[in-house]
Amino acid sequence: MEKVLNSYETLFVVDCTLGEESVKAIVDKFTALISENGTIDSVDEWGKRRLAYPIDYKNDGYYVLVNFKSEGAFTLELERVFGITEGILRSIVIKHIDDKKTVKEA
């Protein structure tokens, strides 16, 4: 059976008022989750930035952009985990069009 791996990127914003250690733990949690279910192409930590508008009365957030390849079903799980994780202010997962890779399973 063949797996079709699609290219995705996700951008998530972590509440930076939690402290450096907690922010690092959340970033590590999501990069580990993505690498367990796909392959990570790049992780770009933008760091602490001002939000365009306050979210939950917070004006700053820690931005992380991850480019990865995985099966389509995993993105639903990723969005679910983003939604239930305390400390995530916002997140988005975007599929890149016309960039598929087929992998044959042994």
pLDDT of residue 97: 84
Please report whether residue 32 resides in a domain.
yes
Range of 34's domain?
Answer: 5-99
Please report whether residue 46 resides in a domain.
yes
As a whole number of angstroms, the distance between CA 12 and CA 58 comes to 15
Considering just the CA atoms, what is the radius of gyration of the chain in Å? 15
Task: Provide the pairing of β-strand 58-70 with 88-104.
Answer: unpaired
List, for residues 64-74, the tens digit of each pLDDT value. 999 999 998 99
Res. 62: pLDDT tops 80: yes
Domain total in the chain:
1
Please report whether residue 70 resides in a domain.
yes
What would the two tokens of residue 54 be?
A: 């306050």
Which CATH number belongs to the domain containing residue 94 in this structure? 3.30.70.60
Please report whether residue 87 resides in a domain.
yes
Q: Average pLDDT of 63-85?
A: 95
Cβ partners under 8 Å of residue 79, min gap 6: 91, 93
List, for residues 3-32, the tens digit of each pLDDT value. 788 999 999 999 999 999 999 999 999 999
Please report whether residue 104 resides in a domain.
no
